[in-house]
Amino acid sequence: MDVQIRKIAWGAPKNIIAYHSTKIGGWSNGAFKFSNMSLDVGDNPKDVKKNRDSMIKQLNLNTKPIFMKQIHSATVRVAKSSTDNLVCDSCYTSVKGLPLAVLSADCLPILISNNDGNKIGVIHAGWRGLAGGIIQKFLKRFATDPKDVVVWIGPSINPENYIIREDVFNKLSKISTEFFSRTKDIGAWYLDLKYVAKIILKQEGVEKIYLDNICTFSNPDQYYSYRRESQTGRVVSIICIDSDDNNN
């Protein structure tokens, strides 16, 4: 059964291809049922390849996507070729037909395009990346007027299922305290990751921000969640500048 992929509804130009997958369909087994897209979580690489190939075929992509080696960093790289081996949590490109992929379970998958549709990027952001300034660093490298940028923030863990402690609070409260709410326990807060990203983007001057409010933790039939199950798979969000010979 083919991996389930969903077209992303956002305000990007028409020549921008953008989809994300769920855990439905695919060939993975055990803790990774069924459509895990990550080679770094202990799944059978052959099954992961089948899952990725299913997505590539459905989207009629002529070039294999770039899958970053994600390390919860604030590192941003430029992508020039599908053979690039990028160890980072964010990348961008202006190469037509070169798809960029970002893997996620509970962290934020973020897709970015400029209004002209000739430059795109992806960001993988958990609390470490957000505290490390990954969004600000990306926008600086992207070198586009923030008012000409369109951003999609995908399915991730919602605050009612994401409790953090004082160490994380101290790091992120330097940005704002608006995205925290108290729990019943002393020294523990609920954290709204999507709201953190939204506040940072707005502070940087980005106006076009589209949020998918689905919670990965609360939807076990559709999404993987590291908080729910520490050994689990990853879904993928993918973006590409349509090439002349790719008619998606």
Domain assignment of residue 34, yes or no: yes
pLDDT of res. 27? 98
Domain assignment of residue 246, yes or no: no
Q: Contact at 8 Å (CB) between 192 and 130?
A: no
Domain assignment of residue 171, yes or no: yes
Q: What is the DSSP string of 180-242?
A: EEE-SSTTEEEE-HHHHHHHHHHHTT--EEEE---BTTT-TTT---TTT-SS---EEEEEEEP
pLDDT of res. 245? 41
Q: Helix or strand or coil: residue 169?
A: helix
Domain that holds residue 167: 5-241
**Residue ranges in the chain modelled with pLDDT below 70:** 244-248
Q: Where are the beta strands (DSSP E) in the chain?
A: 5-7, 16-21, 66-67, 76-78, 90-93, 100-104, 108-114, 120-125, 149-153, 163-165, 180-182, 188-191, 208-211, 235-241
| Residue 235 Cα distances to 6, 9, 16, 53, 150, angstroms | 11, 17, 20, 14, 22
Domain assignment of residue 247, yes or no: no
Q: Contact at 8 Å (CB) between 102 and 76?
A: no
Domain assignment of residue 23, yes or no: yes
Residue reference for tokens 């090439």: 243
Domain assignment of residue 70, yes or no: yes
- In the 8-state DSSP scheme, what is residue 151? E
pLDDT of res. 244? 67
Domain assignment of residue 87, yes or no: yes
Domain count, the chain: 1
CATH number for the domain that contains residue 186: 3.60.140.10
> Alpha carbon 83 to chain centroid distance?
20
pTM confidence score = 0.96
Domain assignment of residue 233, yes or no: yes
pLDDT of res. 118? 97
